[in-house]
Chains A and B, each alone.
Chain A
């Protein structure tokens, strides 16, 4: 009891300090007169020739970054702007004058007077052969694949005229699927070994649940020691699934092919972080969730809840109105009716047993602002310090 008392005093003291601080006038900093121009933070501009046109590039950027800025299309399968370039898929190769090889645009930085061709016959030929190689070692089940319309390999094969896979007659890798994760499946046959999932898992999610195993054509994405996804360190965040360019990693629940889907950007409602996500809908129904890349605060990352737990939205048992128990039976009520009832019960309890007979417990699914208001309500309206939060447990 005395402990509680101390805590309460402490909290009171804190709020007193806060009040004091808030009451203090904000000291205005004197305006410093700008006499010397600060060095510009803008990078220097470099002149170079891109596809026959003179363009200005920012010093230090890669050819791919430059091209994307200028809306010049370069195909990539392993590129992820959040990670250091890996140069694994080689699809982004471009011709740079002075080099007898083709260089990966994701790794090659711009240099003054560079002459770059992103779409020459030589470049297209190399890309076509590589896509042909990848597709030859990939199931040709696009007609029934759920990832159809979303798959980068499919799109690029269309773009580069890869019809069937010239080496299909030699056979392709045959591997069992790993369906042991409750939220997503891994189909090694569809994996093109871009390595993005492994890098995201290791460098962004920091879970290291999957790794590249074996070498040469026997290379596979696997869980260390082949324990399978179920027994791995996987936390089911699905961030690997989000970057997979093919249908190798697919959510168990996802659109039946992506044609006719719509994306609606929203904020995840599971917690106060405010992750940005796209709700994928088809024919007015929610069919999936994808993280938004390049946006604060999550930049393409989600957790297991935001990523996979969206089916409650359309669940028939979902509560859509408040319920009030009348004569032992729950009956639908309006919000006004329900809130009035809660308010009257709170008042009744406070009046009868005192404010400390009431305690409040708030949720991490609410925003910071909501949580602030909640404690304010308990302290100022009810008059108790009995307030806590699930994130503290």
Chain B
């Protein structure tokens, strides 16, 4: 059924009636549904069986004949993955965390039927002495500002009607019928949106260059080849709100004069791929993709292209090569894709998160968008918060928020009262930022100024137990694997940097190794072909800049201050030992001796440093040193 312009409003009005409890300011408790159970069906929660939880709720509600009173909604990611599977019950926004399939019965009986929230299942931070906090009121959510993720956790991503009900495709309608392509580009430029895939290039300028490029055939591409370790921003947007990207790409097509788009997405994101396929199908059915969109005369088609798991294909020229069917290897720029991209035609490439901001900018105007964020980096940025932090998950914060706010206010700080050591931003291409720079505001220029980068949005927190040489080794291992192998400094240089780091971690570091590392790092930075190689050394250079003493300790004193590098540590039982024999019983190589109720001793020559003894010791008498 093709839609007309009027249908947008009709569908929105009809659908919004049935979405009266979605945890949004416009919620109407007296509307159609009396209660709503929102089940997170992002990848994290689904892998913890939230699909079964959803089914269980549906069965229970159907068996009780309450389908018309209680709705069960499958949504994208809420953000707090650490608490998953997450279920939220409206009205009230009761935040249930770590739910098992069997818990559904309890919530159904006590909360949905019995009106009494199940306190034992509620997320601990949402429980205060006075009241139960709604999901939107817990500290994790309170400090965030969701623009790209605006619909995640509120709508069913597999129903286009729900997207339409939440202002979906209204920006497209506005653009097609009341704006010229130049006006669209001017608005995006005025909004100051910058490429959120990490590059930070002004989006409006990129659109303008592609529009101005000569050629009748042009393409719009969405880079959904998210590959940083621990990053899942784009995946969550595509899983929770696929239509926003589709809408933005049609708008981009209109603005630059393209009629064909491609979404390049990694095949390792099966849920995102499936939801995109559904969304594209629905958009085609409604006439939002194809010929004569909404009767405007504008044509635009969209196809998916699945990547085969190469990190480098997130680099735009490698991505283009991959779509064309070639080996995913970058090429020199210029020419930039805006002039010669896919099959040599002018091509606009933006990443998922950048597109997700477009409908909002065009619907609400550039000025409104600029209210959030900083002067040079307006808007928000989504981060995947991970590592040694309490609230692991997805956060969206206004640009200019400090790292400290993200780590402590939103992230909840470091677990087990450990000391903060560093935060790694920008994925393998980024850098490690030490405690002294925690008050740096998050924006493209500030992060670059301190030797890191915005990157696609991975943010990994490290505490005193992380060895920074080991961290550099980890990232270099990743880069060595993911280098495409084309250019010398990256292919050969990263391998040798990795070997040097392994040698240092292994206690075999020699004087001069740091100089060798620096020389290789500089060469990779100066002479590599693409951004992957040019930034490959950032983890080494940034850790060397802030934590040089750790490198020196490894090389000169043959010790690992954080107690991570097994070749450099030994286990030792202190006087606190109570002689319980537990360590000796759990030692796989029987290298611990001692009598009952007497202090035990580890034979260091036989010890394989597995750490079992330290884990099982009831009085923390086993230490690494």
A261 adjacent to chain B (CB < 8 Å): no
A170 to B493, CA, bound (A): 13
B310 adjacent to chain A (CB < 8 Å): yes
A217 to B523, CA, bound (A): 17
- What is the total number of residues of chain B having a CB less than 8 Å from a CB of chain A? 33
B487 adjacent to chain A (CB < 8 Å): yes
Closest residue of chain A to B499 (Cβ to Cβ) is: A170
Give residues of chain B (507-535) contacting chain A, Cβ–Cβ below 8 Å.
516, 519-520, 523, 525-529, 534
A234 adjacent to chain B (CB < 8 Å): no
Give residues of chain B (488-514) contacting chain A, Cβ–Cβ below 8 Å.
488-489, 491-496, 499
Binds B, one of A13-21, A84-92, A252-260, A382-390: A84-92
A366 adjacent to chain B (CB < 8 Å): no
Contact A89 B332 (CB under 8 A): no
A93 to B525, CA, bound (A): 13
Q: Out of A101, A136, A192, A214, name the residue touching B526 (CB < 8 Å).
A: A101
Contact A130 B488 (CB under 8 A): yes
A87 to B488, CA, bound (A): 10
Contact B485 A193 (CB under 8 A): yes
B7 adjacent to chain A (CB < 8 Å): no
Q: Out of B483, B516, B520, B527, name the residue touching A217 (CB < 8 Å).
A: B483
A216 to B519, CA, bound (A): 20
A 67-108 to B, binary, CB cutoff 8 A, 1 in contact else 0: 000000000000000000111111101000000011010010
A193 to B486, CA, bound (A): 7
Contact A90 B528 (CB under 8 A): yes
A240 adjacent to chain B (CB < 8 Å): no
Number of A-B residue pairs having CB atoms within 8 Å of each other in the complex: 102
B331 adjacent to chain A (CB < 8 Å): yes
B480 adjacent to chain A (CB < 8 Å): yes
Contact B487 A90 (CB under 8 A): yes
Report the minimum CB–CB distance from B273 to chain A (whole Å): 23
Contact A88 B483 (CB under 8 A): no
Closest residue of chain B to A218 (Cβ to Cβ) is: B485
A323 adjacent to chain B (CB < 8 Å): no
Contact A87 B495 (CB under 8 A): no
Q: A90-B529, A126-B523, A217-B491 are in contact. Are A136 and B496 (CB under 8 A)?
A: yes
Give residues of chain A (222-276) contacting chain B, Cβ–Cβ below 8 Å.
none
Contact A167 B527 (CB under 8 A): no
Report the minimum CB–CB distance from A98 to chain B (whole Å): 14
B548 adjacent to chain A (CB < 8 Å): no
Q: A104-B332, A170-B499 are in contact. Are A89 and B485 (CB under 8 A)?
A: no
> Which of B484, B486, B494 neighbours the largest number of chain A CB atoms within 10 Å of its CB?
B486
Contact A167 B332 (CB under 8 A): no
A89 to B519, CA, bound (A): 18
Contact B485 A219 (CB under 8 A): yes
Q: Within 8 Å CB of A90, what residues of B?
A: 487-489, 527-529
Binding site for A on B (CB under 8 A): 310, 312, 327, 329, 331-332, 480-489, 491-496, 499, 516, 519-520, 523, 525-529, 534
Given contacts A89-B487, A167-B496, A216-B483, 9 further A-B contacts (CB under 8 A): A101-B526, A104-B529, A122-B526, A125-B523, A126-B526, A192-B488, A211-B327, A212-B329, A215-B310
7 contacts between A and B (CB under 8 A): A87-B332, A122-B526, A129-B489, A133-B488, A133-B493, A216-B484, A217-B480
